[in-house]
Amino acid sequence: MRTIAIAKRVTKELLRDKRTLMLMFLAPILILFLMKLVFSVNATTDVKVATVNVSNSLVTQLDKTSHLTVLKYDNVSKATQAMSDKKVDAVIHSVDNDLYVNYSNIDASKTKATKSSLKMSILLNSLQQMQKNLQPLGQRIVQPKIHQKYHYGNADTNFFDKIVPILMGFFVFFFVFLISGMALLNERTSGTLNRLLATPVRRSEIVFGYMLSYGVLAILQTLLVVLFTVWMLKVEVAGSIFYVILINFVLALVALAFGILMSTFAKSEFQMMQFIPLIIVPQIFFSGIIPLDTMAKGVQAISYILPLKYAGDALSGVVMSGDGSGKILPEIGVLLLFLVVLTFLNIQGLKKYRKV
């Protein structure tokens, strides 16, 4: 009987907590719906290849390859610049019947697709030329020698190398969000925040004070994550490591402001944890770990309201393409806009505890 009485009491408390009930039933449905949108993608890989001084017959064979587009350029410098601008995935240059191939290698799957398409096209082109010249099929086919070069990484670069910049930003965002939200929630439930609000201190000063103190911890965490990733995991950084640290630090401040804001809506640590499916999970799906260009346009639009998307783009650009300040400034600007808006909402959110 006592067990039943306890069960009844817990059930009544649970039924009173509408937020918990809603998240228990709606959060799994939301996550499954997002997974349906994200993973219903085109399984094929579309590749763009730049060619310079390559024979028309070989270009024709390459162009016949499904999901591969060939773009002709007048010189190598223009083709290489197009690859730097992420307009093409590889540059093929013919010199004295040899082929010099420079792979962007940002996406290992595209590099692999380019290699296989090029080899097959060379073979088919050689057979076609033999038939035109009426050479016997038994005669040895002389194929051009391929010289390979990688703009980023090497032949062993894999999928992890592509997603590690995004994972770096994700872990910074996740742990700063969780720790800052839990800490402020503890301050509120213990009465510390109420006592602080009883003083003449302004709401903005409280928010900035919390952000400054946890911002120092965010700097240390960012440095630790970045340095471990670069030196211990041996991740090659094509650009400046300073920009990697800067992007992660700005993202950490956004996560800090996000965590503080979410803590104002939670009454307990349990409710704070419930925000993870709503705030963190979508960040993973639309951060760039799964290629956004393979998704429908309507689905891609979701990513533009998520800060990790911009951080992931900037980090991938610096780490894999060597992007400088000019290319990453738009993404950093959007992250700073997120920070300003979230800080303003935090100041307004304290009105529920003190009006002035």
Q: For 109-133, how does the pLDDT look when each residue is reduced to its tens digit (9 = 90+)?
A: 888 888 888 888 888 877 777 666 6
- Asked if residues 143 and 125 have their Cβ atoms less than 8 Å apart, the reply is no
At residue 97, the pLDDT reads 81
Residue 29: what pLDDT? Answer: 73
Please tell me the pTM assigned to this model: 0.79
Terminal-to-terminal C-alpha distance of the chain: 51
Which pLDDT score, from 0 to 100, does residue 21 have? Answer: 67
Least confident window among 27-41, 240-254, 328-342 = 27-41
Summary mean pLDDT of the chain? 81
pLDDT (mean) for 42-46: 64
Report residue 352's pLDDT band, with 50, 70 and 90 as the boundaries.
Answer: low
Can you tell me the distance from the alpha carbon of 228 to that of 223, in angstroms, rounded to the nearest whole number?
8
CB 206 within 8 A of CB 212: no
| Domain chopping of the chain, boundaries | 47-150, 159-352
Write down the CATH number for the domain with range 47-150.
3.40.1710.10
Nearest to 174 by CA among 235, 286, 254: 254
Residue 54 pLDDT more than 60?
yes
Least confident of 102-106, 146-150, 191-195, 276-280: 191-195
- pLDDT of 56 reads 86
